[in-house]
Structure 1
Amino acid sequence: MSSILGSRAPYAGGVTRPLALAVDLGGTKVEAALVDGSGIVLPGSRHRRPTGPTSASPALERAVREVVLAARAAVPADAELLGLGVGSAGPIGVAEGTVSPLNVPAWREYPLRRFIEDLLPGTPVTLRMDGVCIALAEHWVGAGRGAGNLLGMIVSTGVGGGLVLGGRAIPSPTGNGGHIGHIEVGGFEDPCPCGGRGCLEAVASGPRTVAWARGQGFTGTTGEDLAVAHASGDPVALAAVERAGTAIGRAAASASSLLDLDVVAIGGGFSRVSPALFEHARAALAERTTFAFVTRTTIVPSGLSDEGPLIGAGALVHQSDLLDRPAV
């Protein structure tokens, strides 16, 4: 199995045609950009607007409209727009084209696919969960390139995930397969908005890790603050990152016990809080000493930096043969 961690080819000034318009909707922001058939984000085409738990639906619609139309305007005159891929924080309704991001409460069963189709009439729109997109991106051009069984994970405002098994995205009737952020992790009892206790997202997401640290006396307010404190050796920050990493590793080990994974590739803003996050995750997975098929699983940072979700949304168009097709 090959990997291209840290070796993404720089943009060389040429555009592989046709193009995909990629949209990534999360709990903090919505982004759109053009992605070519080699998994390259076209410079100058990337646009971002805020979302968040306090945004009302009209503001969210305006944000999506602005980034989609701005990216569409960046399509070169001699390039074809093949389609539009949308990766959204879950849960989603893939057959209905709806989204209900847990951290964006103004949208519950919101018809995002139809909204975007109305913005760009005649352009095919494919919607999947953002975790599926990150898994496809890592399998296509990232840290999991060549892996048959891969879990892609986003650790950010929330924790999302997606699966490529046997070289294909897993079939998923509702589109929410691989939602690893809401499996319960042993040894933790943190309440989760989904109704569970000890869910990975409730333990290891950026905001929840910072909240836990603040409960232990930490005075910072953001993941960036926690990263600085961790780098300086602050004991609460060290404990917070160890706690999050351990939870991630336990979740990865459980997933590998079930699915016999080759690679767990992890991206998202909070995944970059410290390399120690990965060290703790690997240590937790390595505790499964009896199961060599689990301990062979590698946990690696995303090979795509912060472009991974957009590249994955582009893969919904360029790598569409790897997708399951829901009944409609």
Structure 2
Amino acid sequence: MAADPPPSPSPLVAAVDLGGTKTAGAVVTGTGELLARAECPTAADGDAEAVFAGVARVLDELAGHPAWPGVTAVGVGSAGPVDTVAGTVSPVNIPSWRGFPLVRRIAERTALPVRLLGDGVALAEAEHWLGAAAGYRDALCMVVSTGVGGGLVLDGRVRPGPSGNAGHIGHLSIQWDGDPCPCGGRGCLEGLASGPAIVRHARAAGWRPTEGGPLTARAVADSARTGDGAALTAFDLAARALAAAIAGTAALVELQAVVIGGGVAQSGPLLFDPLTRHLTHYAGLPFTRGLHLHPAHFGPDAGLIGAAAAALRT
């Protein structure tokens, strides 16, 4: 059963998708059409005001679009954890933001109501509304990018939990004696399957970028497509960690499908082929087998579409 659509196709909303690498924004219609876009790098290592300056820049650019006067609310999907009750965010991969009052700051800048959700929940909102999870009542939707997040669709509805963090699969501990994580745990999935983790795996296995080339998961993927053994090993390790986390989640809540978006998911078969293979080893209980794996329908726009879906219900 598909999620209930936002109430009307006529309102316009603004959407912001804030991650550790970039901050994106859009003006979005009630049918999910993006009328305008803006984007800038996230100053993740800067102080709190430097990070917010990127958000402000994106909002200001959107405000210059002719459609802006029709915007009725702002939806924000942020790297987490978030606190949707307090309106604050504390992204693990943005150290200067701890309890940062993002809702209040955006409301002050735009004079509009603001709806906050975690980036994984935003992906779930988008994919269950109009995307790859629309035909399922029970699904896990994941972001695998600079970080790893998630959102749950259970019994036909997105379930963000009391503070907005339900489904935050990136901080499941996959290795109980693994490396410390900035979240305070050890051996977290994010430290094993994110884009930066794939780069670490590849370099440890002997991969080197081309001279002057970037140290990114995309560069590792490019090498893997040429048959580079170290690069292929890195994706296999990430896929194995993802499989363990997905199987554990399926054992807890029973799932029909898993939808994976984010930059790493755009590597396609390099991630999905070993993930499918490893799931056969980790998903042993009968009700955890046969999960349908899908790439996110919206690709890099999923966070914007999901934030917009939430804002349309504000």
Quick one: which amino acid aligns to residue 164 of structure 1? V
Partner of 1:298: 292
Indicate if the aligned counterparts of 1:190 and 1:203 stay in contact, CA closer than 8 A.
no
Match of 1:68 among 59, 74, 90: 59
Specify the alignment match of 2:14 in structure 1. 21
The answer on whether the counterparts of 2:21 and 2:146 sit within 8 Å (CA) in structure 1 is yes
Structure 1: which amino acid aligns with 2:289? T
Q: Does the Cα contact within 8 Å between 1:17 and 1:80 map onto a contact in 2?
A: no
1:112-123 map, 5 Å: 112-121=102-111, 123=112
Distance in 1 of aligned mates of 2:201 and 2:281: 25
Q: Structure 1 residues 61 and 53, CA, compared in 2 at 3 Å: closer, same or farther?
A: closer
* Corresponding residue number in structure 1 for 2:38: 47
Which residue of the other structure, out of 107, 113, 122, is the alignment partner of 1:133?
122
Match of 2:140 among 127, 133, 151: 151
Match of 2:262 in 1: 268
Q: 2:296 corresponds to which letter in structure 1?
A: S
Residue range with higher mean Cα deviation, 291-300 or 153-162: 291-300
List, as ranges, runs of 4+ consecutive aligned residues in structure 1 with deviation greater than 4 Å: none
Q: Within the alignment, does 1:217 sit opposite 2:210 as a pair?
A: no
Contact 1:75 1:81 in 2 (8 A): no
CA distance in 2, matches of 1:52, 1:142: 30
Unpaired runs of at least 5, structure 2? 3-8, 210-214
Q: Report how far residue 295 of structure 1 moved.
A: 1.1
Q: How many residue pairs end up in the alignment?
A: 303
Moved more, 288-297 or 18-27: 288-297
Report the CA distance between 1:256 and its aligned residue.
Answer: 0.8
1:37 aligns with 2:27: no
Q: CA deviation at 1:69?
A: 2.1
Asked whether the 8 Å contact 1:41–1:307 carries over to 2, the reply is no
SS in 1 for 2:20: coil
Q: Deviations over 1:274-307 (max 9, x none)?
A: 4121111122222256523211221211111211
TM-score (norm. length: structure 1):
0.87
The residue number in structure 2 matching 1:85 is: 75
2:52 is the counterpart of 1:58: no
- Equivalent position SS for 1:287: helix
TM-score (norm: length of structure 2): 0.91
Tell me by how many angstroms 1:312 deviates: 0.7
Whether 1:243 aligns to 2:243 is no
Cα contact 2:224–2:232 (8 A) shared by 1: yes
CA RMSD, aligned part only? 1.9
Q: Say whether 1:196 aligns with 2:196.
A: no
> Match of 2:212?
none
1:67–1:21 distance in 2 versus 1, CA, 3 Å: same
**Matched-pair contact (CA < 8 Å) for 2:151–2:160:** no
